[in-house]
Amino acid sequence: MDSVIAVIGTGYVGLTTGACFSRLGHTVVCADVDESKIARLRGGEIPIHEPGLEEIVRDGVQAGRLTFTTDVNEAVANAQFAYLCVPTPQGADGSADLTYLVAAAEQIAPYLPSEAVVVNKSTVPVGSTRTVEQALGRSDLFVVSNPEFLREGSAVHDFLNPDRIVIGSDDQGAAIRVASLYLNVPAPVMVTDPASAETIKYASNAFLAMKLSYVNAIAALCEAVGADADDVMLGMGYDSRIGNKFLRPGPGWGGSCFPKDTKALHFLSAQAGYSFDLLDAVLEINDAQFERVTAKIASVAGGSLEGARIAVWGLTFKANTDDRRDSPAIEIVRRLVAGGAVVRAYDPTVKGDLPEVDGVQVADDAYAACEGATVLAVLTEWDEFKWVDLDKVAATMADRRIVDARNLLDRGALLRRDFVHEGIGR
């Protein structure tokens, strides 16, 4: 049965959620307090880089099932469901800051029809279902947890083909109503209590961060003992208990979720009386990785960053997104500049300047970034970097030296052209 859904917060998660629900046949109003974002969406422009999103937004709009508004009252006035997709950033003490969530709940409370279900899709700590209930202050509404597991860069695919749909509710009827929204989505639906649903989301993200820190630690060991981390990971990945995903060494993990969610889980655990020491190590290894990669670049540059001309490929936290929030690439660029390097960077989604770090020049293409550089650092795994003309890169650089923090480039092809090529873990 098709439903009327209001989405509060039209960012990476909210826009994907709204567009995908409209694709599933529901009628969706996406609301946001950001007027320019809504104006762009109304003008047919997609404010984020996300493969496949433009098409389903266009289809939803054309079919009359997807609209955008800055008027939250209007958005929820006829809604059977209100999805909260607002930010839950890291607070000063590492906890999740629920200010946006509570404000959004308070804002919509007077306008929601009776019996509406308010759904937490934002990533929130245990107890937040109750927090939203209190902020709404109405006994004729339901609050359900329905955490989101999509990955930026494949958000549409992940929303429509998730590994699982998790619904946390103490009310069976409300849980079934939320489950029914996903009727045509081929995925197991798991209904549990709100605390378990909330924990599943944090536990999953922190586990993935742990896996990446483990991989980077093994890569450091590989460098020390003369093993090849890529082969080690390949060999590990054949073990079905380990699995072959998330087994690539890199410059450290980041993005808008893993850092804040890992810290929030750590905080939540401490508050609950459990000292989650494993997560301390996960975070420390990641911080050390930024430094290891920076030191590797300095070493390849001849021992010092002072005055070194470094080309950087990739600024987003991973490929296929324009998201630079907590990007490892930005973190490393910051360290390069702090060390005195002259950085010229290219990323397919960045034009003009780079507000995060003063003094970085942004190039129009991968070759332009290399002009006069003595070292090229590959920091994000964009596909296009795999297909560059290496002879042109060689001719453009002042020196043929590459630090490939994603183990992305064809090492054989580089060595044949007399490049010094340093990867991670080999």
Ligand X SMILES: NC(=O)c1ccc[n+]([C@@H]2O[C@H](COP(=O)([O-])OP(=O)(O)OC[C@H]3O[C@@H](n4cnc5c(N)ncnc54)[C@H](O)[C@@H]3O)[C@@H](O)[C@H]2O)c1
Q: Which residues are catalytic?
A: 257
* CA 258 – CA 327 distance, rounded (Å): 11
Q: What is the DSSP letter of 397?
A: S
Q: How many residues bind ligand X (CB under 6 A)?
A: 28
Q: Three-class SS of residue 141?
A: coil
Q: Does 396 bind ligand X (CB under 6 A)?
A: no
Binding residues among 256-285 for ligand X as defined by CB under 6 A:
256-257
Question: Binding of ligand X at residue 8 (CB under 6 A)?
Answer: yes
Q: Are the C-beta atoms of 335 and 291 separated by less than 8 Å? A: yes
**Nearer Cβ to ligand X (31/116):** 31
Q: Does 165 bind ligand X (CB under 6 A)?
A: no
Stretch 60-79: interaction string toward ligand X, x if CB under 6 A: ------------x-------
Stretch that binds ligand X, among 5-13, 128-136, 297-305, 391-399 (CB under 6 A): 5-13
Verify binding: residue 10, ligand X, rule CB under 6 A. yes
Helix (H, G, I), strand (E, B) or coil at 88: coil
Residue 93 CB, nearest approach to ligand X (Å): 17
Report the residue number, 82 or 300, with the smaller CB distance to ligand X: 82
Q: Give the one residue of 4, 30, 32, 210 binding ligand X; rule: CB under 6 A.
A: 32
Helix (H/G/I), strand (E/B), else coil: 174: helix
Q: How far is it, in rounded angstroms, from Cα 23 to Cα 20?
A: 5
Cα(52)–Cα(161) distance, integer angstroms: 13
Residue of 23, 26, 37, 426 that binds ligand X (CB under 6 A): 37
Q: What is the DSSP letter of 387?
A: G
Q: Cβ 233 to ligand X, closest distance in Å?
A: 24
Only one residue has tokens 């009776």, namely 114
The structure tokens listed for 175 are: 């849980």
Burial class of residue 97 in the structure, from the number of CB atoms within 10 Å of its CB (0-12 exposed, 13-18 middle, 19+ buried):
middle
Q: Restricting to residues 79-118, which ones interact with ligand X according to CB under 6 A?
A: 85-88, 100, 103-104, 107
Rounded to an integer, what distance in angstroms lies between the CA atom of residue 116 and that of residue 81? 6
CB of 168 to ligand X, least distance (A): 15
Q: How far is the CB of 95 from ligand X (least distance, A)?
A: 13
Q: Which residues contact 401 (CB under 8 A, 6 or more apart)?
A: 300, 301, 374, 375, 376, 419, 420
89 or 237: whose CB is closer to ligand X?
89
The 281-320 site mask, x for binding ligand X (CB under 6 A), equals: ----------------------------------------
User: How many Å from the N-terminal Cα to the C-terminal Cα in the chain?
Assistant: 55
Cβ closest to ligand X, residue 72 vs residue 217: 72
- Taking the least distance from each CB to ligand X, the nearer of 50 and 223 is 50
* Residue 141 binds ligand X (CB under 6 A): no
CB proximity list for 59: less than 8 A, separation 6 or greater: 22, 23
Residue nearest to ligand X (CB): 11
Q: How far is the CB of 181 from ligand X (least distance, A)?
A: 17
Q: How far is the CB of 355 from ligand X (least distance, A)?
A: 16
Output the smallest distance, CB 15 to ligand X, in A. Answer: 8
Measure the CA–CA gap between 121 and 101, rounded to whole angstroms: 10
Which of these, 218, 215, 208, 217, lies nearest to 262 by C-alpha position? Answer: 208
Interface residue with ligand X among 50, 148, 198, 404 (CB under 6 A) is 148
Asked if 404 is part of the footprint of ligand X (rule: CB under 6 A), the reply reads no
CA distance 387 to 329: 20
| CA dist., res. 391 & res. 389, Å (int) | 5
310 within 8 A of 336, measured Cβ to Cβ: yes
Residue 14 or 250: the one with the smaller Cβ distance to ligand X is 14
Residue 13 binding ligand X, by CB under 6 A: yes
Among 3, 4, 6, 11, binds ligand X (CB under 6 A): 11
12 part of the interface to ligand X, by CB under 6 A? yes
Task: Supply the minimum distance, in Å, between the C-beta of residue 160 and ligand X.
Answer: 15
Contacts of 27 (CB under 8 A, 6+ apart): 2, 3, 4, 5, 65
Structure tokens belonging to residue 2:
């098709």
Which stretches of the chain bind ligand X, using CB under 6 A?
A: 8-14, 31-34, 37, 72, 85-88, 100, 103-104, 107, 122-123, 148, 150, 152, 256-257
